[in-house]
């Protein structure tokens, strides 16, 4: 299968981006744009007159020319829409979150495994050149052992009618953490604190604190109410520290050979031991040159490659389940006043007789 026939489901906020990048991705052939509002879909397509418009999901899924679907509908519809596609034998790309709950997401992962179909999450940031560089750097030991991660994602954003700020913004940061953390380091517990100062009926400002395997810690600050936009992430390691400023295209990444060293007490004399075992290391800063590429184009390319090569995509259904498991534990913590709660594993038992 060289060329994949694709249908985009949903012509709202994100659907047009999927349409544009699908049209520009070799190996993908856009067959349909499906939306309950057919007129809206036609406006999105514009000059793409060869692409069919439909307001019927059943019609789209019944067409043998459609091999795969990309879903850009509200999270509460992800289970029925994605499940219908999987049951029709279609590969599925779905925007975050995977589903409205962990239990629903697990149903989708199991359904895809049972049928041998690709189920992929549109965790777009994981496909940026910055995160690709971070993944290689962190997982290769380039910063030493991970000590902490600190992320801020704030701006004067749209208060969502159906989810709080955690479920709206934190999936970006959580998916990045899960993408770059080395093997053996994973979230184990989470505490969440939030507030609703404008009376929206849901948290508009929130902080997540995540315990990682081995004692490291991650922190996420998300906020719909900030008059200024900030998108920064700091990854601290025992050897180097990386600062990512996503709003600075001239220098998105800065890698610092600066930090704190602690000597073993057995390595120093008694007099030194009585004073301090901590020393500060001041070294160079390196800003790697990174290409500017549209991440969603890389998402589409990975979706195509996963299908044609019969391999799991970088952000597969299980990665979506991991994000959901953290979000559900965070919501429970928020309801309990910020208590640390364990994060359930995202393991899924593959149906008997089906290869993992």
Task: Round to whole Å and give the CA distance between 146 and 282.
Answer: 19
Q: What is the pLDDT of residues 165-210, one digit of tens each?
A: 999 999 999 999 999 999 989 999 999 999 999 999 999 999 999 9
Provide the residue count of the chain.
356
- The strand pairing partners of 223, in sequence order, are 154, 205
Of 91, 80, 109, the closest CA to residue 351 belongs to 109
Residue 37: Cβ-neighbour burial (10 angstroms; 0-12, 13-18, 19+): exposed
Given this model, what pLDDT does residue 154 score? Answer: 96
Given this model, what pLDDT does residue 220 score? Answer: 98
Given this model, what pLDDT does residue 352 score? Answer: 36
Given this model, what pLDDT does residue 266 score? Answer: 59
| CA-based radius of gyration for the chain | 22
Could you give the angle at the alpha carbon of 114 between the alpha carbons of 111 and 115, nearest 5°?
90
Strands 241-245 and 225-237: antiparallel
Given this model, what pLDDT does residue 54 score? Answer: 94
Which stretches of the chain score pLDDT less than 70?
A: 1, 47-48, 258-283, 345-356
* Helix (H), strand (E) at residue 153: strand 146-156
Strands 91-95 and 241-245: unpaired
262: how many CB neighbours lie within 10 A of its CB?
10
If you write DSSP's letter for every residue of 272-317 in order, what string do you get? Answer: HHHH-SEEEE---EE--------HHHHHHHHHHHHHHHT---TTBH
Given this model, what pLDDT does residue 120 score? Answer: 97
Complete edge-to-edge strand list for the sheet that includes strand 28-34: 52-54, 28-34, 4-9, 68-71, 91-95, 119-122
Given this model, what pLDDT does residue 264 score? Answer: 60
Tell the residue number behind the tokens 């990854």, with chain if given. Answer: 235
């Amino acid at each position: 299968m060289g060329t994949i026939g694709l249908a985009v489901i949903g012509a709202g906020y994100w659907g047009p981006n999927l349409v544009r990048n699908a049209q520009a991705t070799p190996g993908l052939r856009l067959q349909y744009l499906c939306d309950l509002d057919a007129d809206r879909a036609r406006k999105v397509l514009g000059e793409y007159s060869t692409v069919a418009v439909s307001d019927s999901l059943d019609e789209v899924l019944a067409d043998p020319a459609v091999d795969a679907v990309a879903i850009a509908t509200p999270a509460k519809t992800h289970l029925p829409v994605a499940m219908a596609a999987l049951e029709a034998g279609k590969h599925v790309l779905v925007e975050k979150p995977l589903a409205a709950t962990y239990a629903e997401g697990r149903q989708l992962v199991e359904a895809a495994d049972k049928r041998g179909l690709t189920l992929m999450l549109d965790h777009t940031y994981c496909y940026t050149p910055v995160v690709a560089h971070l993944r290689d750097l962190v997982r290769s030991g380039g910063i030493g052992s991970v000590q902490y991660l600190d992320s801020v994602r704030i701006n004067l954003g749209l208060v969502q009618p159906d989810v709080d700020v955690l479920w709206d913004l934190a999936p970006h940061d959580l998916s990045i953490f899960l993408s770059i953390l080395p093997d053996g380091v994973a979230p184990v517990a989470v505490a969440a604190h939030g507030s609703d100062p404008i009376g929206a009926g849901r948290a508009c400002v929130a902080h997540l604190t995540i315990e990682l395997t081995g004692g490291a810690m991650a922190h996420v600050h998300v906020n719909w109410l900030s008059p200024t936009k900030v998108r920064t992430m700091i990854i601290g390691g025992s050897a180097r520290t990386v600062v990512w400023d996503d709003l600075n295209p001239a220098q998105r990444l800065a890698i610092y050979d600066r930090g704190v060293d602690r000597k073993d007490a057995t390595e120093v004399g008694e007099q030194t031991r009585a004073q301090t075992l901590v020393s500060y290391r001041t070294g160079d800063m390196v800003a790697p040159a990174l290409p500017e590429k549209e991440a969603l184009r890389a998402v589409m390319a990975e979706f195509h490659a996963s299908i044609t090569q019969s391999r799991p995509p970088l952000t597969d259904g299980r990665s979506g389940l991991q994000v959901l498991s953290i979000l559900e534990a965070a919501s429970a913590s928020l309801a309990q006043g910020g208590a640390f709660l364990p994060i359930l594993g995202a393991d899924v038992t593959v149906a008997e007789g089906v290869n993992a």
